[in-house]
Amino acid sequence: MTKKKKQQEGKGVPIWIVTFADLTTLLLVFFILLLSMSTINVKKSRMALMSLKRAFGVLQSGQSTKIGKKIVVPQPNMQPSRDTVRKNLSGLQSFVSMIGLSQMVTINESQRGIVVTIKNRLLYDSGSAKLKKEARPVLDKLAYIIKLMPEGSRVDVQGNTDNVPIKTSKYPSNWELSIARALSVVRYLIKYGSVSPTRLSAEGFGQYNPVATNETAEGREKNRRVDIVFVGIH
C-alpha cells in the first residue's frame, strides 16, 4: 500500500464537525427549554390572527383557531353584520328623502324581516315590467346593502299588483305581470349591482297580497308595489 493511500485512509471526520454538532445540540436544547417555559400572549395572538383573517380570508366562516386551551379567533358572530344592514337601511331612508322619493320608498318591519317597499310608479310604466331609469339610484343602494348581509342570508323580491285586470299577449294576467316585475329587479341587482344570485329569490303575488283596499285609487296605488324583504333581519 502506498504512503499516499495510507494517508487517505487515515483521514476521518474533521475535528471541527464534532464541536459544531455539540453546539447545534446545545442550541436546540436551549430553545426547547425556552419554549417550554414561555407563555403565549393570547391578546396579541388574537390581534395578529384577526389581521390575517381580514387581509387574506384564511379562516372560513364557522372555524376557530386555538392556542393551548384558549380560543384565539372565535366563530364569527352574525349579529354585527345584521346591525350593519339595519344601519344602512336607515341610511337608505335618509337617501330617498334627500332625492325627493320618500313617498315612493318606505321601510318597515315584518315577522319575516325588514321590508323595503317601492311603489310601481317609480319602477315601471303602466302594464310594463321594464325598469325606469329613475329607479336605478335606489336599486344601486339596495344592491350595496344586500352584499353586506351575513353569509347564507337572502332577500326575497316580491311583485304585487292591484285588482284591475290585465290581459295582453305578454301578460295574460296580473300573476305574470307581478312575477315579471320581480324578476326585472332581481336581474338588475345581479347584473348591475353584482349581487350573488344565491342571495336572491323572485316571487309574484299578483293582486292577492294587498296592503290597502282596491276600492279607491289611493289604495290601488299602494297595492302596486315591489317588496324587497331582507329575511331574518329584525
156 - beta bridge partners? 201, 229
Per-residue pLDDT of 146-171, as tens digits, reads: 999 988 889 999 999 999 999 899 99
Question: Which CATH code fits 79-231?
Answer: 3.30.1330.60
Distance (Å, whole) CA 51 – CA 46: 9
What does pTM read for this prediction?
0.66
Q: Which are the contacts of 164, defined by CB distance < 8 A and separation ≥ 6?
A: 214, 220
**By the 8 A CB rule, do 149 and 233 touch?**
yes
In terms of Cα–Cα distance, which of 149, 151, 147, 146 is closest to 61?
151
The torsion angle over the Cα atoms of residues 221, 222, 228 and 234, rounded to 10 degrees, is 170
Q: Where are the domains of the chain?
A: 3-73, 79-231
Least confident range from 26-30, 164-168, 215-219: namely: 26-30
Distance (Å, whole) CA 82 – CA 88: 10
In terms of Cα–Cα distance, which of 233, 223, 212 is closest to 181?
223
Query: Which three cell numbers, joined as nine digits, stand for 182?
Result: 320581480
228 - beta bridge partners? 116, 157
Q: What is the average per-residue pLDDT within 116-138? A: 96
